[in-house]
Amino acid sequence: MTYPNDFFILANQLIEAGRFIDSKGWVPATSGNFSARLSDDSIAITVSGTHKGCLQQSDIMLIDSDAQSLDGKKPSAEAVLHTTLYKRYPDINAILHPHSMTATLASQIFKTEVVLQDYELLKALPGIDTHEARIVVPIFANDQNIPRLAEQVDRYIDQHGAIHAYIIAGHGLYTWGDSVLHALRLLETLDFLLSCELHLYGVKKI
Amino acid sequence: MTYPNDFFILANQLIEAGRFIDSKGWVPATSGNFSARLSDDSIAITVSGTHKGCLQQSDIMLIDSDAQSLDGKKPSAEAVLHTTLYKRYPDINAILHPHSMTATLASQIFKTEVVLQDYELLKALPGIDTHEARIVVPIFANDQNIPRLAEQVDRYIDQHGAIHAYIIAGHGLYTWGDSVLHALRLLETLDFLLSCELHLYGVKKI
Amino acid sequence: MTYPNDFFILANQLIEAGRFIDSKGWVPATSGNFSARLSDDSIAITVSGTHKGCLQQSDIMLIDSDAQSLDGKKPSAEAVLHTTLYKRYPDINAILHPHSMTATLASQIFKTEVVLQDYELLKALPGIDTHEARIVVPIFANDQNIPRLAEQVDRYIDQHGAIHAYIIAGHGLYTWGDSVLHALRLLETLDFLLSCELHLYGVKKI
Amino acid sequence: MTYPNDFFILANQLIEAGRFIDSKGWVPATSGNFSARLSDDSIAITVSGTHKGCLQQSDIMLIDSDAQSLDGKKPSAEAVLHTTLYKRYPDINAILHPHSMTATLASQIFKTEVVLQDYELLKALPGIDTHEARIVVPIFANDQNIPRLAEQVDRYIDQHGAIHAYIIAGHGLYTWGDSVLHALRLLETLDFLLSCELHLYGVKKI
């Protein structure tokens, strides 16, 4: 197929994001998946089964807004988690899902949600202008049935209002932004804050 | 505007410092701000909202000694913390403020101050020639009102005498030196020692 | 001697793997050994006593399926652990044995085995398609008598069925795959999961 | 002065060692000092006050076997610790002294000595051929009087026999080998094992 022009620009941004994310150790083996929305609402997304630290352009494919392949390649099994978020949030254009140890441990320790407050860095999240904000990152049970998992996320947002990110237990973080670079900054922010919470939990529990 | 010649030299030093500081993971997302004083008392400082690991010359701007923009760019909201230190300490020419996890956790665990002693590395601080020195790094409550925060710092120094650095709670460390490189060495020193204290706290508390 | 053509291809893959493994800190000093099976059943393996982060082609040698040198070079003292695995598993073509701190600590803390479950990343292991799998990594006592150690491993597999990896206590992890790259992905996976278990152990025990 | 030919070779080895050691974070600020013995018994040693991660040839100087400067440059204040070791051990030709956090914490936690046993990696130390060896790394109180500190080390060896390394409390590790590269491998080994001991101490104490 002939890819739209912005596909190549976004694919390169996802490749660069993958290199950065891998340099932090957040995508061991072939874990993680990333996507970016094109101007025609189709979505560039990583194919299944590649190492995210050394993505090639051929490792990025195109799906439609219902997660159907547009170029015959096989998308990540979790593509529906991406399309569900794009449908709900018209303003976001990129979603990043790494498997960092921080998010994995946070889910095993905090079980249902992580509460973040009193951090200056919270101001890096959209719409937050003081460290006195209170941000909740919900944790959902892992599920190999992805449409069911997507519904669980959707229902949570219906009930609790907008969120900046969520964690799938024993699995990893999903976050999103208006561009790949923006989502990457939110990812740095959230991983830093989750890591702070894990350290403090150890000390407080002791 | 036409920048003075030493602006470009100092801007490059701040760019290099940012790369080093980011390589240590001390400026997640767009956190942190850095400055250096010019010979005419104007101050080169990072603009608001950029990632400090990949600063461009256009991300460094010029303010006067009262933190007013001299080139129309928008300085970091915390510029007044820099100018307050430059006024108090005529001998310092550079200030670095990263958001390291170490300083963030130290503030949450030690609350009001961190005491550093019995470390050979203390000799890296100006005027210290033995590991038997006792250095106090005060911790101030975070405050979105920056002039008020600057006054809090000023008042502390009035009462307690000269300090080498301070921490803003849940936020990060401020340190300074007679050059950008000198401030960078102090930053390495302090982050190392804060990290030692955090490790020892865990063990001692257990 | 004249090496077969695939020797050079596999030697280069082992050199690359060593660079990656060293970048993670998993082969301190001259620890670790790696091998890959050629099409004629001879085995390319690292020689004794070199740093695995900067292997040269001359640091890779050829042994037969009984661990006898085919080129006059001296193989790692642990070569028999490799040949024992190749005999048992006709489908594997590469074995990696680093000395990571994670595996060392896991052996000292968990003593006889590490159980891995409820991790999405388990799906990176061959034949696993859900996080609900339960994977056991056995730990064997260290022994300078390598044939005896190899027998211990063999006996364990006879009794317990196929395994994905094992740990030698105070020493390191052995894992294997159908190619060097595949074994490397399994190594990333296992080190990540062992590290999670160590973190959780600390928290749970507290 | 005209430096002997082997000075330049050894200086380059020390520069490379510094880059490696700094990449591990073991020489914060301007801490640490390194040396290598020339064939005429003079000693190439790092000058005082430079960052060891970016040494230039001009940062390496020449002292005689009594730590007197031979080229007018100022050696590290700890040069006598180096010459004392070279006098005692005719077979060693390089000494490395970083300020790693591991050694700093080990001294604060274990107080008088660190005992290392049941580690396969012990075999990287000269003369050790089994993990069943028991290695003691003594810890000496820090002292700004370097000749007195050197005597303390000397007396310990007189009483306890040969050692592979020692730690100065709150300060760092000294280790040595028959070449710069050999000393570097021992340093990797010891830092890894000290780090294991620190982790296990935390768990056992809990």
Q: State whether residue A76 sits within 8 Å of chain C by CB.
A: no
D170 within 8 A of D108, measured Cβ to Cβ: yes
- Quick one: which H or E segment has residue C181? helix C180-205
- Closest residue in B to A206 (Cα) is B206
The chain-wide mean pLDDT, for chain D, equals 96
Task: Produce one character per residue of A42-61: b if its CB has 16 or more CB atoms within 10 Å, e if not.
Answer: bbbbbbbebbbbebeeebbb
CA distance B53 to B6: 22
At C179, which amino acid appears?
S
| Residue C2 belongs to some domain of the structure | no
pTM as predicted: 0.95
Structure tokens at B55: 């600063």
Q: Give the angle A100-A106-A107 at the CA atoms, nearest 5°.
A: 95
pLDDT at D77: 84
- Residue in chain C closest to D182 (alpha carbons) equals C29
Tokens 């250096």 correspond to what residue?
A: B36
Q: How far is CA B15 from the centre of its chain?
A: 15
On whether residue C162 sits in a domain, the answer given is: yes
E strand or H helix at C44: strand C43-46
**What is the 3-class SS of C70-133, one letter each residue?**
CCCCCECCCHHHHHHHHHHCCCCCEEEECCCHHHHHHHHHHCCEEEEECCHHHHHCCCCCCCCC
Return the closest-CA partner of residue B144 out of A123, A157, A68, D105.
A123
Neighbour-count burial of C115, counting CB atoms closer than 10 A to its CB (0-12 exposed, 13-18 middle, 19+ buried): exposed
Chain D residues with CB-CB distance to B130 below 8 A: 144
Q: State pLDDT tens for residues B49-74.
A: 899 999 999 999 999 999 999 999 99
Q: How many CA atoms lie within 13 A of D142 on its CB side?
A: 22
| pLDDT computed for residue D46 by the predictor | 97
Considering only CB atoms, which chain C residues are within 8 Å of D130? 144
- Weakly modelled stretches of chain D, pLDDT under 50: 206
Taking all residues of chain A, what is their mean pLDDT, rounded to a whole number?
Answer: 95
Distance (Å, rounded) from C-alpha B116 to C-alpha B97?
Answer: 20
Please state, in angstroms and rounded to a whole number, the distance separating the CA atoms of residues D21 and D51. 11
C108 Cβ neighbours under 8 A, 6+ residues apart: C169, C170, D118, D196, D200
User: What one-character DSSP code corresponds to residue D125?
Assistant: S
pLDDT for A100 equals: 96
**Mean pLDDT, residues A128-154:** 96
Instruction: Please give the helix or strand (H or E) that residue A43 lies within, else none.
Output: strand A43-46
Indicate yes or no: CB of B202 within 8 angstroms of CB of A200: no
- What count of residues does chain B have? 206
* Residue C1 belongs to some domain of the structure: no
What's the pLDDT score for residue A202?
A: 81
Q: Which residues of B134-158 are buried (b: 16+ CB within 10 A; e: fewer)?
A: ebbbbbbebbeebeebbebbeeebe
User: Could you say which residues from 16 to 35 on chain B have a Cβ atom under 8 Å away from some Cβ of chain A?
Assistant: 28-31
Give how far the C-alpha of residue D27 lies from the chain's centroid of Cα atoms, to the nearest Å. Answer: 12
Token pair, residue C140, equals 């064997």
Establish whether C51 is an annotated binding residue: no
Q: Which of A142, A174, A206 to mutate to test the interface with C (most CBs of C within 10 A)?
A: A142
pLDDT value of residue D185: 97
Q: Can you tell me whether residue A36 is helix, strand or coil?
A: strand
**Tokens of residue D166, six digits:** 């020692």
Q: With 60 as the cut, is the pLDDT of residue B99 above it? A: yes
The answer to whether position B23 is within a domain reads yes
- The residue whose two tokens read 């600057």 is B150
Helix (H) or strand (E) holding B33: strand B33-37
Q: How far apart are CA C165 and CA C186, in angstroms?
A: 9
Q: How far apart are CA C24 and CA C102, in angstroms?
A: 11
Domain that holds residue D20: 7-205
For residue B2, being part of any structural domain is answered with no
To the nearest whole Å, the CA of C186 is away from the closest chain A CA by 7
Q: Cβ separation of C29 and D185 shorter than 8 Å? A: yes
Q: What is the pLDDT of residues B116-168, one digit of tens each?
A: 999 999 999 999 999 999 999 999 999 999 999 999 999 999 999 999 999 99
A142: DSSP letter = -
Whether the pLDDT of residue A9 is over 60: the answer is: yes
Residue D48 domain flag: yes
Domains: count for chain C: 1
Report angle CA D184, D189, D192 to the nearest 5 degrees.
125
Asked whether residue B197 is domain-assigned, the answer is yes
Which CATH number characterizes residue B82's domain? 3.40.225.10
- Closest chain C residue to A201, measured at CA: C203
Q: What is the ipTM of this complex?
A: 0.95
pLDDT in tens, C99-130: 999 999 999 999 999 999 999 999 999 999 99
Distance CA B194, CA C1 (A): 57
Q: Which of residues 165-194 of A touch B (CB under 8 A)?
A: 185-186, 188-189, 191-192
Which of chain C's residues have a Cβ under 8 Å away from the Cβ of A168?
120
Residue A1 falls inside a structural domain: no
CB contact under 8 A, C203 and A206: no
Q: Is the dihedral angle over the CA atoms D116, D119, D125, D130 positive or is it negative?
A: positive
Q: Annotated binding residue at B164?
A: no
Chain D residue with minimum CA distance to C145: D130
Chain B residue numbers with beta carbons less than 8 Å from the beta carbon of A185 are: 29-30, 51
Among A124, A129, A202, whose Cβ lies nearest the Cβ of B30? A124
Asked if pLDDT for residue A206 goes beyond 60, the answer is no
**Shortest CA gap B84–chain D (Å):** 26
Q: Does B2 touch chain D (CB under 8 A)?
A: no
Between CA C99 and CA A169, with CA C127 as vertex, the angle to 5 degrees is 75
